[in-house]
Amino acid sequence: MRRKKILIVTAIAIAVTLLAGFLIVRSWTITPYGKLDPKVAVYLKLTGAAEKSVAELSLPVEETRRRLAEKAASVSGAPIPLADVKDMKAVAGALSVPVRVYTPEGEGPFPVVLFYHGGGWVQGSVDTHDGLARTIAKKSGAVVVSVEYRLAPEHPYPAAIDDAYAALLWVKANGKLLNTDPSKIAVSGDSAGGNLAAAVCLMARDRGGPAIALQALIYPGLDSANLNTESYGMFGKGYMLDKAGIERFIRLYLPNKKDRTASYASPLLAAHHRNLPPALVITAGFDVLRDEGEAYVKKLNAAGVSARSIRYPGVIHGFVSAPRLLPQSGRATDEIAAELRKAFGG
């Protein structure tokens, strides 16, 4: 009898603890702007990610780079095996840009995607985005060329976009070397990398090529001159990527304020958006960059360009690089891969 009572009391205690935990987590998901995904809410609360992002504003750039690398490793999954992964140099004109080339299984020649990593033009590398590049290659059946462009503040604007465009020229000229079809090229990137991907499309249009089949942008930053959208007002603090952090990135990448309105620095502000590649833009519901990504799609549509955006509710900036944490990551890369296959003709 005594043992039975102990079991009953224990069961009740466990049930009460679970209920209390559920109610606490649910309270964390409730915000003035809608409901956070429970996993995102727990991540923000238990890791103090938002507070850490504020604290990093005073750290040396090298330390912030190291921390981003650690964060990326903690939320990315195990490396996806591919037919081949190798580091190379993309040489075009006077530039020699390090790249990592991901080749999927199959015969080829493959279509090819140039991928530009995020990190505010200051952080990030082909290593921090290795998992995402592998995923895109695997799901799309395309070779992915991940570009190690030069970072600010050591190399401010326009170094990154110059490297990004040089890599595109190299890919176009080296189909045989890469086992790719130079007539089937797309660009992609997340955050600052999405900015570079959009800017490369403008640059290719303005300079007469190479032709780009699709721009697949993941929560891109597209306006470095006007940080005043509704999403900045709602999510500028407390959701990991905050307004103060972006302001710091912009100061380092674009120290000359006049450059911030340039088309290749702020693609949303281009004089016009005609004759650009079709676009898919992935946005996060709780992200300061959400509105400018969606505004870019509207500008493309108004210019006669086929473009659409997909907003993932309840998630924050960076969610696509967190497959270990969030199933929405897999759904987003499925969408990107499907759009790539469509752009490449199936």
CATH number at residue 241: 3.40.50.1820
DSSP 267-304: GGG-S--TTPPPEEEEEEEE-TTHHHHHHHHHHHHHTT
Could you tell me the CA-to-CA distances from 142 to 78, 118, 180, 196, 320 in Å, in that order? 20, 20, 8, 20, 19
Query: Considering the domain boundaries, does residue 50 fall inside one?
Result: no
How far the first Cα of the chain sits from its last, in Å, is 69
Report how many domains make up the chain. 2
Residue 161 has φ and ψ, to the nearest 5°, of -70, -30
Q: What is the pLDDT of residue 84?
A: 97
Q: What is the pLDDT of residue 55?
A: 79
Query: Considering the domain boundaries, does residue 40 fall inside one?
Result: no
Neighbours of 290 (CB within 10 A): 24
Q: At a CB cut-off of 8 Å and minimum separation 6, what does 54 contact?
A: 237, 242, 244, 245
Residues spanned by the domain of 27: 2-31
Residues 151, 20 share a domain: no
Q: What is the pLDDT of residue 27?
A: 67
Q: What is the pLDDT of residue 21?
A: 46
Query: Considering the domain boundaries, does residue 41 fall inside one?
Result: no
Residues 131, 20 share a domain: no
Residues 111, 16 share a domain: no
Residues 85, 20 share a domain: no
E strands in 37-127: 84-92, 95-103, 110-116
Residues 77, 174 share a domain: yes
Residues 140, 285 share a domain: yes
Residues annotated catalytic, as ranges: 191, 287, 317
Please, which residues bridge with residue 86 across strands? 101
Query: Considering the domain boundaries, does residue 49 fall inside one?
Result: no
Residues 163, 253 share a domain: yes
Residues 324, 227 share a domain: yes
Query: Considering the domain boundaries, does residue 21 fall inside one?
Result: yes
Query: Considering the domain boundaries, does residue 337 fall inside one?
Result: yes
* Alpha-carbon span 133 to 321, nearest angstrom: 10
Which tens digit of pLDDT belongs to each residue from 210-242? 999 999 999 999 999 999 999 999 999 999 999
Could you tell me the CA-to-CA distances from 60 to 17, 55, 85, 245, 296 in Å, in that order? 42, 11, 32, 13, 33
Q: What is the pLDDT of residue 20?
A: 39
Query: Considering the domain boundaries, does residue 47 fall inside one?
Result: no
DSSP state of 87: E
Sign of CA dihedral 121, 127, 131, 137: positive
Q: Are 126 and 97 in contact (CB under 8 A)?
A: no
Tokens 């992915």 label which residue?
144
Q: What is the pLDDT of residue 187?
A: 99
Residues 152, 18 share a domain: no
Query: Considering the domain boundaries, does residue 90 fall inside one?
Result: yes
Residue 107 has φ and ψ, to the nearest 5°, of -90, -40
Residues 336, 232 share a domain: yes
Q: What is the pLDDT of residue 52?
A: 79
Could you tell me the CA-to-CA distances from 272 to 69, 77, 88, 111, 194 in Å, in that order? 37, 40, 35, 28, 18
Q: What is the pLDDT of residue 23?
A: 41
* Alpha-carbon span 202 to 302, nearest angstrom: 16
Q: What is the pLDDT of residue 6?
A: 65
Residues 166, 25 share a domain: no
- pLDDT digits (tens), the chain, 346 positions: 666 666 665 555 554 444 434 445 566 798 989 899 999 999 998 787 777 777 787 899 999 999 999 988 888 778 999 999 999 999 999 999 999 999 999 999 999 999 999 999 999 999 999 999 999 999 999 999 999 999 999 999 999 999 999 999 999 999 999 999 999 999 999 999 999 999 999 999 999 999 999 999 999 999 999 999 999 999 999 999 999 999 999 999 999 999 999 999 999 999 999 999 999 999 999 999 999 999 999 999 999 999 999 999 999 999 999 999 999 999 999 999 999 999 999 7
* Alpha-carbon span 182 to 211, nearest angstrom: 9
Residues 122, 13 share a domain: no
